Structure 1
Amino acid sequence: MMHGEARIYLGTIVEVKGALVKVQYTDTQSDFVPYLQTASGFKTHFTPPQVDEVVVLFKLGKLGFVLGSILPTSLQSQIDTQSEVITYEDGTSISYKNGVIEIKSLKELNIKCTSAKIEADSIELGGEGALGVVTGACVCAFTGAPHADVSLKVKAAK
């Protein structure tokens, strides 16, 4: 079924309604068209489209979709070609480079799960200068009662 000639335009998002956007291209404004996202049975990743975002608009007759977004020239000098970085509008970021994941949150970091297990050669909570955590895992040889045991592996600031 033919719908007309396929055309590709560079444009700017002028209106957003959920995962649909209107795009200003040449001297024309599109109808609402889908903003492509990653969605499959394995993973869904929704990134909210933003007004003024530069995108590629694919049109086939009255049908169309948007592929976004094109990195602004002003941000291209900040790119590390050896890292994957996600930065949110409030400055929070998640980065990966050479086996290291770093999360920088400006507010809170909440982890919700049924059970959590951390395995590491050392664990430091609260920054440098932290002291060993009292584990309570030691049993007194004289009384048989538990008493404090200081971990050399886990350190926490007071």
Structure 2
Amino acid sequence: MYGEAKIYLAKVIEVQGSKVKVEYTHTKSDFVPYLQTSNTFKTHFTPPQINEVVIFFKFERSGFVIGSILPPHITHTQENQESITYADGTIITYKDGILEIDSLKELIIKCKNAKIEADSITLGENVSALSGVVTGECVCPFTGSPHADFSQKVKVAK
């Protein structure tokens, strides 16, 4: 169909969406696709980066790139752990049923309703054993009436 492919280690020199120009053996390519994950189940776009080392499959008049070869200075890799590290230092890891998000700024979750099922939920650091959300079902021990100052935003089962 395409003939024989030549395979090169190359460096990304220009980015245009999900296409890149690469330099290989002192030659510059035209824009070629930078392969990403995309199917009817999900699309995962990772922006190609200038100076990224990639594998370039070159055919007669076309080609494509498989990115990227992990640089040797990356040291926080572990077997059996998926790790995503962003340029700003935010890290997402998954291992043995535990998903950890270490965001340096904010974590924003947008949805119509959120439901968390857990044996224990702690919001914030240095929470005392007596801390908790006051619900509309809380009864004042002095008056026997529902507590007047209950959370309007956070709803919890008592």
Q: Shorter-chain TM-score category?
A: 0.7 to 0.9
Percent of pairs with identical residues: 63
Structure 1 unaligned regions, length at least 5: none
Question: 1:139, 1:147 within 8 Å by CA — same for their partners in 2?
Answer: yes
Question: Structure 1's 88 and 140: CA in aligned 2 closer, same or farther, altered over 3 A?
Answer: closer
Residue 134 (structure 2) pairs with residue 129 (structure 1): no
TM-score (norm 2): 0.85
Counterparts of 2:40 and 2:88 in 1: how far apart (Å)?
A: 30
Identify, as 1 or 2, the structure richer in strand: 1
**Aligned with residue 115 of structure 1, among 88, 101, 113:** 113
CA RMSD of aligned residues (A): 2.3
Counterparts of 2:31 and 2:104 in 1: how far apart (Å)?
A: 34
Counterparts of 2:110 and 2:126 in 1: how far apart (Å)?
A: 26
TM-score (norm 1): 0.85
Question: 1:137, 1:148 within 8 Å by CA — same for their partners in 2?
Answer: no
Q: C-alpha offsets along residues 57-111 of structure 1, whole Å, 9 cap, x if unaligned?
A: 0011011000000000111x32111210101000011101111111011111110
Q: C-alpha offsets along residues 108-128 of structure 1, whole Å, 9 cap, x if unaligned?
A: 111000110011111101113
Which contiguous aligned blocks of 4+ residues in structure 1 show a shift greater than 2 angstroms?
138-145, 147-150
Q: Which segment drifts farther, 90-99 or 47-56?
A: 90-99
Aligned residues: 149
For 1:97, the equivalent position in structure 2 comes to 95
1:138 Cα deviation (Å)? 3.2
Counterparts of 1:46 and 1:89 in 2: how far apart (Å)?
A: 15
Structure 2 unaligned regions, length at least 5: 151-155
